[in-house]
Chain A
Amino acid sequence: MNSALLIIFTTAVLALLLGLRARKGRDMNLEQWSVGGRSFGTVFVFLLMAGEIYTTFSFLGASGSAYGKGASTYYTLAYQLLAYTISYWLLPAIWRYAQRERLLSQPQFFVHKYDSPALGILVALVGVLALVPYLMLQMKGLGLIVSLASYGAISSTTAVWIGSAIVTAYVIASGVRGAAWNAVVKDVAILAVVVFLGIYLPVHYYGSLSAMFSAIDNAKPGYLTFPEKGQSVIWFQSTVLLTSIGFFMWPHTFSSVYTAKSARIFRRNAAILPIYSILLLFVFFVGFAAILRVPGLSGSDIDLALLKLSIQTFDPWFIGIIGAAGLLTALVPGAMILTTASTILANDVYRAGFRQQASDTTVKRLASFMVPVVALVAITLTLNGGTTIVSLLLMGYNFVTQLFPAILCSFAQRNPINKYGAFCGISAGAVTVAAITLSKSSVGGFFPFLPQMLQDLNAGMLALLLNIVVAAIVSLLTKRAGNGVSTNVSREGGT
């Protein structure tokens, strides 16, 4: 056993113990398990939100896309900033409503706001459909990190199984509390590793940042800026806008809002999180540093850029530390996703759809049972697929973004859309996303007659526009029947 493997293995055991201990002194009922008893303070909420950002995606995906695609990776920094700006007003509103109605999950939010169980089930399905690729993303990253950092001693497949077993165990025991405690360790580790690599590698290999960027610009002209077509400026603008409104629509991020004990926490975090996002810049530097040092990676191998460059630079013990930090970046979001997906399946599909009289205890038991089931589905799909990390993430994003219009409208004094509109709009948007993704097409592919500028729009934008148009039309048509809006207003006034 080499030193790298030893460090990674120790970290895995510590993460497991910390995750199992997180339940200590709590009676793990459904509310504790799913939303931490709505008792988390600034630090935990901050880390759960920030923890969402510093996943294996930022570790491998952002450096990989700086390496393989150049400028288009800048969007990952920009969209966060806008997401935080929106969060200042959006999250306190969501939190207040969830607190009052004692919500446990995102689909329940829709059920209560729109007074429609069917809408809840639709949202549950869209959510789980988006969460599974996100979980696969974490597993894929985990497999890559551990197999490379252990110098091949542990295969990617074995790593995925072991990592999933660990996260499954502590999620069953502690739910979202397990994720929160590991998030503390994870963020300290990733912060140290990323800042060090981002400063050391450019200086070590090129002498300075400017020398590095000049060298890249000479070797690959146009790589550091947005091109005229394809991933152009308009692509950047539409992607940033789309992903920033999708950011808090992820079911697990949405329900991490419920864990907070006060609304003010979100406003404070909205001021601090932008500075924290600067970490990604260092990840970009690593990816750029790899361009001229480990050339030739292509396809989904671009995600290996950070690890390959590190391995040819550092001693095994330090690779072990990078591997350990990487492992944690997969386990924390993995735990959040598993908790949320299981809660949704048990509470919003089973209880809401089939057995409305089921007790919290029954739902909690079923949710615990769903944890290994969801994990197994994701493992199977991960081990049989080969899409790169960023493209998986973008598909999930396009799915969850479809929920945004209905949520935003539900906070209006008089909601302009009713449950029928919300249902049809979300369905239309989700089907469009699926059609575009499955046919591997783009806006230009569907509408070749459009000017180039519009062809480069992010495909999710098309789905979102369709969603809004359908929601508005259906709401107008069903308004005369005299339902939806009035029910909603009376609910708002209640309590």
Chain B
Amino acid sequence: MILRLLAFIPFLAILVGVAFTNQVQPLIFGMPLVLAWQVLCVVLTAVVMTVIYLCDPANREEDKAGEDQGSAQ
């Protein structure tokens, strides 16, 4: 359940964040703020999803079963 809550972070960052960053200045890494914010969201989403992937027990339990099932096809 906590993992699913984590998944709301990218939604909030992208959809709500844009309303507060819709300006050109300051340029960040050479990019307008509004674009730089979206790029930051890319990194943030990647981190959040990696954390979810590593913590999710489903990946450990299903790992063996899933692969076996696949190769049996």
Contacts and interface: CB of A to CB of B under 8 A. Distances in A.
B15 A240 contact: yes
A264 B62 contact: yes
Contacts of B70: 38-39, 260-262
A419 to B, nearest CB: 29
Interface in B22-42: 22-24, 27, 29-32, 34-35, 38-39, 41-42
A224 B34 contact: yes
Interface residues of B, number: 41
Given A85-B11, A208-B30, A268-B53, A274 B46 contact: yes
Nearest to B33: A225
Contact of A236 (B18, B27, B30): B18
B23 A225 contact: yes
Contacts of B10: 81-82, 85
A210 B36 CA distance: 12
A209 B32 contact: no
Contacts, number: 126
B32 A217 contact: yes
A213 B30 contact: yes
Chain A's interface: helix, strand, loop or mixed, by majority?
Answer: helix
A78 B53 contact: no
A82 B13 CA distance: 10
A233 B30 contact: no
A271 interface: yes
Interface string A264-278: 100110111011011
Given A213-B30, A217-B32, A224-B24, A81 B66 contact: no
A237 B56 contact: no
A214 B48 CA distance: 32
Residue among A217, A261, A264 facing the most chain B CB atoms (10 A cut-off): A264
Contact of B31 (A82, A213, A275): A213
Given A236-B18, A271-B50, A278 B42 contact: yes
Given A261-B73, A262-B67, A284-B35, A85 B49 contact: yes
A271 B34 CA distance: 24
Contact of A262 (B31, B32, B69): B69
Given A37-B73, A38-B73, A262-B67, A209 B18 contact: no
A88 B23 contact: no
Interface string A208-240: 111011100100000011100000010011001
A74 to B, nearest CB: 5
B66 A262 contact: yes
A408 to B, nearest CB: 14
A71 interface: yes
Interface string A68-101: 0001001001100110110011001000000100
A84 B32 contact: no
Interface of B: 4, 7, 10-11, 14-15, 18-19, 22-24, 27, 29-32, 34-35, 38-39, 41-43, 45-46, 48-50, 52-53, 56, 58-59, 62-63, 66-67, 69-71, 73
8 contacts: A82-B10, A213-B30, A213-B31, A262-B70, A271-B53, A274-B46, A281-B39, A284-B35
